[in-house]
Amino acid sequence: MFVLFGATGDLASRMVLPAFYRLAREGLLPGQWRLVGNGRGDVAHEDFRAHVHDALTESGAKPDPQDWDAFAQRVFFAGGGFSTESPGSLLDVIGKARSALGGDPQLVHYQAVPPAAFAGLTEALGQHGLAKDARVVYEKPFGTSGDAFRKLDQVVHSVLDEQQVYRIDHFLGKEATQDLHLLRFGNGLFASCWDAEHVESVQIDVPETLDISNRAQFYDATGAVLDMLVTHLFQVAAEVAMEPPASLGPLDLQAAREEVISRFRRLDPAEVVLGQFDGYRDVPGVAPRSKRDTFVAARLWIDSDRWRGVPFYLRTGKRMATSAQRVSLILREPRGPLSGRLPRDANVLAFSLAGDGEIDLSLVTKKPGPALDLDVAHAGIALAGLPGADPLPPYVRLIHDVLLGDRSLFTRPDGLASVWDVAEPLLSKAAAGPALRTRVMGTR
């Protein structure tokens, strides 16, 4: 049984509901299931089903009329909110669903709500007997500062065991993000050059053309640093930088990722650029004098033998000229007869994390002809084009993993504690109201 808190909100409509419908359409849900949405309003089951249909249509996953009725009859809504003081109608709706399913169905609680609501909902799950053996999914960011993280973590572990907790970061569910370690560990060509001796820099770029008008209040309380840097970009950096795990099993993979995060050095505000796009303060819901960052570029250092001295450039922003999700390993120029003569944009191994993912390699070649003219050749592998490929979007993959009980691609509290420590100097400066700077750093 899948209980979706914040079921009529933007995140649920854009991401969670389309992902859940995709799982149903592809036969990846259990044979018997129920989806129970929860919210403050008193919404009839039929009205919520209509909302779900509209959300799926707007997301591009318009339901097939032939299977919509079978899907919709398993969808319910429990109104009146949910808190320690009052469970609203949720207990009644869950009770009826349990009776219909029979036995003791697995409960999955998905908190598609702002971070400030996590603690209260978690305490309510314990208060009303819905926590035992349940799996609970938390959206990012898990906390909004080091102190907020520690308080939330304490509340969560007062109600749940760690194995029940799934802190989602959808960048870890991307096909190409997973290929960051599979390509490296499965191919000697790349495994042998995955270190400071061969890599000049690592660049992680996620520019977005998207505006923030649909979630202005959330974004003005969060900004690029919290929304992207200390969540997605740090996790992707860890995927690149981790030491080879003992296996690719859930515990070993998580441990390798969290171990390297503990090696991240604290950000130096002098090596971080914050920016705000023109017109941001004119967006309804944004404070008139807001200094909230919509762009961040940071230089991160990792204190490990493998990566010491190699800068990791992390960059993201809203309302940029183009959209991309790209990880680039800039390889050092090899010593030899061509030293100093190589094209600047050669020797790059890049991963596009967008869509179904792509791997790109830029190589130095001789331009065909009588002279020794050097050029750059590009080779690309579209992951979806591999024979038999059946790529799943990140939210579909991660919700499926929750249903299976696989925590490989979810974050752990020790790694998050390190993340907040790394970001503390920047967050403290941002809280003090830093002057915004707009110079570009570390591009190539």
Q: Which residue numbers are catalytic? A: 232
Q: Which of 38, 41, 43, 35 is nearest to 18 (CA)?
A: 35
Helix (H, G, I), strand (E, B) or coil at 77: strand
- Residues 148 and 222: their CA atoms lie apart, in Å, by 13
Distance CA 444, CA 442 (A): 7
At how many degrees (to 10) do helices 413-431 and 234-241 cross?
130
Alpha carbons 355 and 337: distance in angstroms, whole number: 40
Beta bridge partners of 316: 206, 296
- DSSP result, 385-400: GSTT-----HHHHHHH
How distant, in Å, are the alpha carbons of 131, 181, 241, 266 from that of 225?
32, 25, 20, 14
Contact criterion met (CB below 8 Å) for 212 and 224: no
Q: What residues does 275 pair with on adjacent strands?
A: 295
Is the separation of the CB atoms in 202 and 313 below 8 Å? yes
Q: Which residues contact 291 (CB under 8 A, 6 or more apart)?
A: 276, 433, 434, 436
Euclidean distance between CA atoms 90 and 94, whole angstroms = 6
Q: Which residues contact 76 (CB under 8 A, 6 or more apart)?
A: 34, 35, 36, 37, 45, 48, 93, 96, 97
Please state, in angstroms and rounded to a whole number, the distance separating the CA atoms of residues 360 and 379.
6
Please report, for residues 140, 235, 302, the alpha-carbon distance to residue 320 in angstroms, rounded to integers and kept in the order given.
23, 22, 28
Query: Over the Cα atoms of the chain, what is R_g?
Result: 23
Rounded Cα distance between 415 and 421, Å, is: 10
**Cβ atoms of residues 33 and 73 within 8 Å:** no
Max Cα-Cα span within the chain: 82
Rounded CA gap, 412 and 259, in Å?
A: 11
Q: What's the token pair of residue 368?
A: 């065909």
